Amino acid sequence: DVKVTQSSRYLVKRTGEKVFLECVQDMDHENMFWYRQDPGLGLRLIYFSYDVKMKEKGDIPEGYSVSREKKERFSLILESASTNQTSMYLCASSLGTGIYGYTFGSGTRLTVV
C-alpha cells in the first residue's frame, strides 16, 4: 500500500516562528499536494507539485511556500506563523492527474499561539 507520512501529528508553534511541515510518500508518485482543513470551509488547496523542483499555487498560497527537492518529499513552509494558520494540514499524493485517486497522510494539527 502507498504510504504518505506526515512528520508530526500535533504541533504547537509561536507567532512569528518559521514552521516546516514535512511529507514523504513511498510509491514514486509524481503529484503531491498540501491542503488545509478548517470547520465550515472544507479542504482548501495551498500548493501542489507535479514534479521535482516544480510547484504551483493552489487557492490559498498566501503566507506559505513549498519545497520539493526530491520526488518523495514535499515540504510546506510557514514563513512567519500567524494564529490564523492554526489548522489541520493534510498532505496527499497521486500517480497522475485525471484518473487516479489521492492518498492522504494522517494530517498535522498545527496550533499557533
Partner 1 sequence: SQQGEEDPQALSIQEGENATMNCSYKTSINNLQWYRQNSGRGLVHLILIRSNEREKHSGRLRVTLDTSKKSSSLLITASRAADTASYFCATDHTLAQKLVFGQGTRLTINP
Contact positions toward partner 1, by CB under 8 A? Answer: 4, 33, 35, 40-43, 45, 48, 58, 88, 90, 92, 97-107, 109
Q: How far is the CB of 6 from partner 1 (least distance, A)?
A: 8
Q: Give me the residues paired with residue 45 across strands.
A: 35
CA distance 67 to 20: 10
Cell 488547496 belongs to which residue? 45
Nearer to partner 1, 17 or 110 (CB): 110
Nearer to partner 1, 32 or 81 (CB): 32
- The CA radius of gyration of the chain, in Å to the nearest whole number, is 13
User: CB–CB of 113/12 below 8 Å?
Assistant: yes
HEC string of 100-111?
A: CCCEECCCEEEE
Q: How far is the CB of 11 from partner 1 (least distance, A)?
A: 14
Q: How far is the CB of 59 from partner 1 (least distance, A)?
A: 9
Nearer to partner 1, 31 or 75 (CB): 31
Q: How far is the CB of 81 from partner 1 (least distance, A)?
A: 21
CA distance 33 to 103: 10
Nearer to partner 1, 84 or 101 (CB): 101
Determine the residue type at 33.
Answer: F
